[in-house]
Structure formats: structure tokens, C-alpha cells
Amino acid sequence: MTSKPQNVLFIMSDQHNRDILGHNGHPIIQTPHLDQLAKDGVNFTNAYSNCPICVPSRASIATGRYPHDNGSWDNAAPYSGDRPSWGHRLVNQGIQVTTVGKLHYRDAVDDTGFPDQRLPLHVLNGVGDLFTLIRETGLPSGNLGRKQVLAAGPGESSYTQYDRAIAKEAVNFLQNEATGIDKPWVLFVSFVTPHYPLTAPQEYFDLYPLESIELPKNYGLDQRGSHPVIDEYRRLIGIADELEEADIRNALAAYYGLCSFMDAQVGEVLSALRETGLDRSTRIIYTSDHGDSMGEHGLWFKSTMYEGSAAVPFIMSGPDLPKGKQVENNISLVDCFPTILEMVGAHLAPEDHDLPGKSLLPMAQGEIEPNRVVFSEYHAAGSITGFFMVREEQYKFIYYVNYPPQLFNLAQDPAESNDLAGDPQYADVIRRMNQKLREIVDPEKTDAEARRDQQRRLDLHGGREQIMAKGFKVPYTPAPKVE
């Protein structure tokens, strides 16, 4: 099916769990604007991040390539324009691209293909989180995850202030600039919530009385699964034990409040699109860079391949797209690159022939691609080894270098309560999934390559001991100052 070129409004949030959407069946969350967007468009129910942490995920979105291909292993390896982005492709074809908000690249000076950056947020000092380059067992726990959970509550933060400014600037572009552009344009609007700090404006926090909040699935010590890599991550961020139920519910209320707050900012942008009449010539994408476990499996935040962390919401809407359609085929964020180009009428370059993603427009319009395999990998903060995920229609396989794998039948066990990897009955499934993984990447070779590059950067910045002495004190990238 051919598609007429249109404008693209690409909206991204940060750390939004796929299931924390009213349209996706959550019993109490209030996300009316995103729910309406899904009702008016196409909801992809099996979308995944290609790396469940900010910087590598955003590099994959920009380049359409996996971390092992683009070299963005962790939060101290930001995208710098060394591989072509979808922005490069569009700008080179005369299409205006404007970004508002978080990019999380190295800095605004690099030629990343996004020359019009408004209110950009990039990695701290152009370097990022050097402490996270140190990946070994037995590191002292900084309790950073525990501290974020226990600090949750109502109020304003630099992140909520920043997101209000992002929405305001996006509305300004739509109202005062976009209507005067005589060919298709792309506006990338990138919010930072519901990423922690778990501080939600009072009116949104109050939407969720603590008694209305259910405890997370598989949270208790007698419920959560055990795996040496995951257990070490829990210990490292200070969540290996069970927190008090009141603290858990309080943190969830703050996260839910941030989701509703972010939804309201999205609503401001979508209202401006409708009021200007641009909705009649604009396709919309909504997604997030990765999810957030929020207590499930005794885990908080990201950095694992469980669904809460690795899965993302993904909605597409537009005047020529079906309404109320649900697509269950697997997709991942590397699909954004070719999708945006097709939406706006641009063309891939010859050197893009090996991009792993593909345009999602045909799938949104009804083309079926059953049992599509998607891929994610992780070499970043809190990981004592590299690990890799492949998901097909029924099974999810997680391969840990030098540690036992995990296997989940998501069709029968969507909560990932039963790891099948140790069951001899699934030996053939594991062999098949392992083969699918190795058709994409050599795990051992890639793990070694990531560690060599991380050691190189450690040495470049003074070595392990010097970085250890400084510690890891900034749990999230500070927002730029806004009026």
C-alpha cells in the first residue's frame, strides 16, 4: 500500500512502562490523551527497546542500529553523529527536522543530523555516567535505587518543570511555525517523565490514593525469581530485600502520577495540532525509550529484560491510518528510522541496506508479519555480564554470557513467573532461540568488545580507582534550566 508523504509528530517519553496506560488495560491509571490517541490509531502491543537504558536506546532510535553496531554500549557512550541518523537522511533531502527536549546525545555541537535543537538535554559534561563503566561483582551498593523509591512523593522537580517547558515550546512551533512550512516536516518532542525522580505534581499524585494501588506482581521474596545476574543488580541498587508496603504504594502512586502528568503534556501538544488543523496532514508516533519495572520481580527502574523494563508502548495515528486497530506482531525501536522516512516521503540511502528495522506503515495498514523476531542487548549500569534478548511470537529467550539463560513462554505466562530454561522439555526451544540470537550477534565476542571499549574509556578518564573514588552521585541527568 502506498502512502502519501505527510508531516510527522514523533512524541517520546522516558521510562514509560507499556502496561501503565488505560488503553492497555491498567485498572486505575488515568492517561486520557494517550488512550484517545490509541483509539484513533494503531496500538502495537509487542514493542521493545533495543537496550533498556537511556543513552544506548536513544542512539539505536537515532541510527536504526543495535548497540553492538553503533558502539553505544552504556550511559557513557552517547551518540555523537558518527553513524548516520534519520535526521541526517531527512535534512539531506530538504526536510525540516526540529527537536524539542531530551536527546541524550554527547552535545549540541556534534553533527547528529538534528541542527534545530530546542531545549535539548544531553549527557552530563558531554561524557555521561563514568561510574557505570565499572562492571564487576561485589561493587559497594550505593543504594541509589532504594533512595529513589523511598524519596517518592508529591511535589515539583526540575523534570516536571522541564516537561512543561517542552510542551510549551512544541505548541509554539505548531502554532507559529509549522503552518508556514510548505513541505512535510518532522517535530520530535521528547519528554523526561515518568523517569525518576519519583516526584509527581500534587494534583496528579492525588489521583492515586494509596489504598487503591495493588502491590507489584512477583514482588515478594517468595515470589520473585532468582538469577545470579539479576540478584547482583538488586543488591547493587539496594533493593534485594522487601521494602515496606506503604513505601511501595507511595512510589507507585508517584510513578502513576508522573504518567498522568506526562499524558497531560502530550495532550497540550495534540490539542495544538488539532487547533491548527495540522492533524489532517500529520502522522503521529508515541513511544518511550524503555520501560520501568516498578517493583515487579522485586526490581525497580530499567536494566533488565523483563517485560516491565524492555517492553515499550508504541502508538501510531494519522488521517490515513486505521482507527482502533491493535497489532500484536513484534516490533522494536530500530523500526523508527525507516518508518519516519517513509512517513515523510524520504528515501533510505544505499548504505542503509543493512538496517535491521523496517517501516511499520505497512503493518499499521494491515500487512501481517507473524513470528517476527526482535532483539535487545545490555552492557550498561549494574550488569556484571552482557546479556541479550530475542523475542518471537511465543517465547522470550535471554542469554547471559557465562551465566545460565532464561526462557519464558509469554503466551502462557505473560507475567514471566516461570523460567523454563532449566526444564529438559524445552531444550529444543532453547537451541532454536539460541540460533536465532546468533544470527543477529555473537554474544561472547560482543561482550568482550564492549568491555574493551569500556576499559579504554575508563583509562581515558583516569582509571578505575580514580572514578571509584569520585563515586556515582548523580542518579539522573540534570535538566537544563528553563524559564
pLDDT of residue 371: 86
Residue 483's pLDDT is 77
Residue 151 is assigned to a structural domain of this protein: yes
Greater confidence (162 vs 482) lies with 162
67 in a structural domain: yes
* Residue 451 counted as domain residue: yes
Cross-strand pairs, 186: 8, 97
| pLDDT tens, position by position, 302-327 | 999 999 999 999 999 999 999 999 99
Residue 157 lies in a domain: yes
Distance CA 173, CA 273 (A): 10
Domain that holds residue 391: 7-470
Residue 218 lies in a domain: yes
What pLDDT score does 470 carry?
79
What CA–CA distance (Å, rounded) separates 470 from 454?
Answer: 17
CATH number for the domain spanning 374: value is 3.40.720.10
**Residue 1, in any domain of the structure:** no
Decide if pLDDT at 463 tops 70.
Answer: yes
The pLDDT mean for the chain works out to 96
Confidence of residue 1 (pLDDT cuts 50, 70, 90): very low
pLDDT interval class at 472 (50, 70, 90): low
- Per-residue pLDDT at 125 exceeds 50: yes
Overall domain count for the chain:
1
How much is the pLDDT for 468?
Answer: 87
Grid coordinates given for 256: 502513576
Residue 481 lies in a domain: no
pLDDT tens across 436-450, in order? 999 999 999 999 999
Tens digits of residue pLDDT in 366-410: 998 888 999 999 999 999 999 999 999 999 999 999 999 999 999
pLDDT of residue 115: 97
- 475 pLDDT tier (thresholds 50, 70, 90): confident
Residue 457 belongs to a domain: yes
Could you report the per-residue pLDDT of 14-56, keeping only the tens digit for each?
Answer: 999 999 999 999 999 999 999 999 999 999 999 999 999 999 9
> What is the structure's pLDDT at 473?
66
